[in-house]
Amino acid sequence: MTDLTGCPTSSFKFSDQKVKNLVDSGKLWDLVMHFDQEGFLLAGGTPGEDMWTEKGAEGDSQGGLVPGHAYSIIQAKEAKTHKLL
């Protein structure tokens, strides 16, 4: 698979059993860390429909991830037992 730049890509869908196994074993995090260290472009997204972008931030004062939205992953880090994106 390639993206709009023509570069090869990988996609991981958390509902897939193979990806669930990677998460459970810690191997997905190892891949993310490797990709970050190698300077790969990283992005993530949430399932659902983005109903907040057009309405602005007024719709939900609690914050959090927006359904159906894409996010740039700037960096992957570990701090003690915490894994951070």
- Domain segments of the chain: what residues? 17-84
CA atoms of 4 and 52, how far apart (whole Å):
26
59 vs 64 pLDDT, higher one = 64
**Which pLDDT score, from 0 to 100, does residue 9 have?**
83
Q: Do residues 59 and 52 make contact, with C-beta atoms less than 8 angstroms apart?
A: yes
Q: State percent of the chain over pLDDT 70.
A: 82
Q: What pTM, to 2 d.p., does this model score? A: 0.76
Report which secondary-structure segment, H or E, holds 77: strand 77-79
> With bands split at pLDDT 50, 70 and 90, how would you rate the model's confidence at 24?
very high
**SS3 annotation, 10-74:** CCCCCCCHHHHHHHHHCHHHHHHHHHHHCCCCEEEECCCCCCCCCCCHHHCCCCCCCCCCEEEEC
Mean pLDDT on 27-48:
93
- Per-residue pLDDT tens over the stretch 6-17: 777 888 999 999
